[in-house]
Amino acid sequence: MALTDRTDPQDVALNTDLYELTMAQGFWESGLKDTWACFNVFFRKNPFNGGYAIACGMGQIADLVKNFRFSKDSIAYLRSIKAPGGGSMFKKEFIDYLEDFSLDVDIWAVPEGDIIFPREPMVRVEGPIIDCQLLETALLNLVNFQTLVATKTARVVQAAEGHTISDFGLRRAQGPDGGLAVARASYIAGVASTSNVLAGKIYGIPVFGTHAHSWVMAFPSELEAFRAFAKSSPKNCVLLVDTYDVKKGVANAVTVAKEMEARGEKLAAIRIDSGDLAKLSKYARKQFDNAGLPYVKISASNDLDEYTIQSLFAQGAPLDSFGVGTKLATCDPQPSLGGVYKLSATKAKGDAAWTPVIKLSEMTYKRTIPGIQHILRFTNTEGVPYGDMILDDSVDTGDRTTLVDILDHDITYDVSGLQSHELMQQIIADGEEVPEGQTTIEQSKQHCHEALMHLDPSIKRFLNPQLYPVGMERGLATLRSNLAKREKRDSGR
Q: What is the pLDDT of residues 250-271, one digit of tens each?
A: 999 999 999 999 999 999 999 9
- Asked if the model's pLDDT at residue 363 lies above 90, the reply is no
Helices (H), 67-204: 72-80, 92-99, 129-160, 175-188, 197-203
Residue 250 counted as domain residue? yes
pLDDT value of position 4: 37
As for how many domains the chain has, the answer is 1
- Enter the DSSP assignment of 372: S
The answer to whether residue 181 sits within a structural domain is no
pLDDT tier at 438, thresholds 50, 70, 90: confident
Q: What percent of the chain has pLDDT over 70?
A: 97
Q: Which amino acid is it at 115?
A: I
Which residues, 6 or more positions from 146, have their beta carbon under 8 angstroms from its beta carbon? 56, 57, 181, 184, 185
CATH code for position 253:
3.20.20.70
Instruction: For residue 482, give Cα distances in angstroms to 328, 358, 374, 391, 448.
Output: 43, 10, 20, 16, 38
Residue 247 lies in a domain: yes
Residue 262, domain member (yes or no): yes
- What is the extent of the structural domain holding 214? 210-316
Report d(CA 487, CA 108) in Å as an integer.
28
Looking only at the bridges linking them, the beta strands covering 106-109 and 238-240 are unpaired
CB 115 within 8 A of CB 53: yes
**Stretch 201-222: mean pLDDT, rounded?**
97
Confidence of residue 362 (pLDDT cuts 50, 70, 90): confident
Instruction: List C-alpha distances in Å: 192 to 35, 164, 166, 204, 205.
Output: 46, 6, 6, 12, 8
- In this prediction, residue 6 has a pLDDT band, given cuts at 50, 70 and 90, of very low
The answer, yes or no, to whether residue 492 has pLDDT greater than 70, is no
- The dihedrals phi and psi of 314, each to the nearest 5 degrees, come to -65, -25
**Amino acid present at 489:** R
What would the mean pLDDT of 156-181 be, rounded to a whole number? 96
Strand order across the beta sheet in which 419-422 lies: 412-414, 402-405, 470-472, 385-391, 374-379, 419-422
For 206-245, b/e burial (b = at least 16 CB within 10 A) is ebbebbeeebbeeeeebbebbbbbbeeeeeebbbbbbbee
**What's the average model confidence in pLDDT over 330-347?**
97
Is 390 within 8 Å of 404 (Cβ atoms)?
Answer: no
Instruction: Label residue 57 left, alpha or beta by phi (over 0 means left) and psi (-120 to 50 means alpha).
Output: left
Q: Assess contact for 287 and 248: CB atoms under 8 A.
A: no
- Of residues 485 and 456, more confidently modeled: 456
Closest C-alpha among 343, 477, 370 to residue 40: 343
pLDDT band at 120 (very low <50, low <70, confident <90, very high): very high
- Beta bridge partner(s), residue 428: 107, 433
Q: How confident is the model at residue 5, as a pLDDT?
A: 35
366 or 170, which is more confident:
170
In a domain, 396, yes or no: no
How buried is 485 (Cβ within 10 angstroms: 0-12 exposed, 13-18 middle, 19+ buried)? exposed
Residue 476 lies inside a defined structural domain of this protein: no
Split at pLDDT 50, 70, 90, the class of 88 is: very high
Which residue did the predictor score with more confidence, 269 or 12? 269
Is residue 485 situated within a structural domain? no
CA separation for the pair 296, 279 (Å, rounded): 17
Residue 229 is assigned to a structural domain of this protein: yes
